[in-house]
Structure 1
C-alpha cells in the first residue's frame, strides 16, 4: 500500500522541487511565475513516468535485492522520461530531434534518476511481509 503513495506523490514532488531550485538559481527572484510554471510542468510530466516506474518496482520487488531493484528502477524511470520528452517533441514539432533537445531530454532524465531510486528504497516492504508457512505454529 505504501508503494503507490511514494511513487505518485513523493517522486513527482522531489522532481518539482529540484526543478524549482534550478529555475530559481537561474532566473533569480525576478520571475517567480516562470519558476512556478516550470515546477508544475515538471510535476505533471513526472506523474505518468513515476507511475510506470512504480509498477515496475512492484514487479521487481518479488525477486531482486533492494539495492539492485532501486538501481534498475532509477534507470528505468530515467529512460521513460527521456523517451517521453523525445516522443512529445516528435509529435508536436518534427520527427527529427536536434541535439539541443536531445541534451535537454538527457538532463530531464537525470533529474528523475535520484528521485526514482529514492522512491524505490522508501517503498521497501521486506520487513512487513507475512511469511506463510504450511506447518502449524505449535510445531
Structure 2
C-alpha cells in the first residue's frame, strides 16, 4: 500500500502543481518533477509503512493515521535537507528550507491515507485457545 499508492499520489500532486506553474510549454520539466518526486518518495514511504505496521499493534486507526502522516512529513523534510547538505553545502538557505517544507506537505495527506487504507482491524479473526470439540 505504502510503496505504490503513496509515491503515486505525491507524483500526481507534483505533476498537477508543475503543470499549473509551467503550463503546456515545458512538458519535459513536468515529467522530470513527477518522476523525481516519485523516486524520492519511495524510501520515505517504505520507512513510514514499517512504522505504521509497528504502530498498528497498539493505536487506534485515526490516531495512527495522524502519527503516520507526521512521520512521513518529517521523513520527507529530512531527506530533502540531507540531500541538499550532502550535495551543496553545510548551511541551508531559507529557500531550500521552504522547499523541504513543501515536500513534507506533499507527503502529509498520502501517508495518512495509506495508513487508513491499510487498517485491517475489522478483518482480524479472534483465535481462541479452546479445542474444536468443546
TM-score, normalised with respect to structure 2: 0.97
Q: Mean alpha-carbon deviation: is it higher for 15-24 or for 124-133?
A: 124-133
Aligned-pair CA distance for 1:97? 0.4
Aligned to 2:113: 118
Aligned-pair CA distance for 1:136? 3.7
RMSD (CA atoms): 1.0
- Output the CA distance in 1 between the equivalents of 2:62 and 2:9: 20
- Output the CA distance in 2 between the equivalents of 1:137 and 1:103: 61
Corresponding residue SS for 1:8: coil
- Output the CA distance in 2 between the equivalents of 1:137 and 1:73: 39
Write the mapping of 1:41-80 to structure 2, written as runs, cut at 5 A.
Answer: 41-80=36-75
Q: How many residues get paired?
A: 134
Aligned-pair CA distance for 1:133? 1.2
Question: Among residues 93, 99, 103, which one is paired with 1:98 in the alignment?
Answer: 93
- Output the CA distance in 2 between the equivalents of 1:110 and 1:71: 13
Q: Which runs of 5+ in 2 are unaligned?
A: none
Aligned to 1:3: none
Q: Which runs of 5+ in 1 are unaligned?
A: 1-5
| CA deviation profile, 1:81-104 (whole Å, cap 9, x unmatched) | 000000000000001001110010
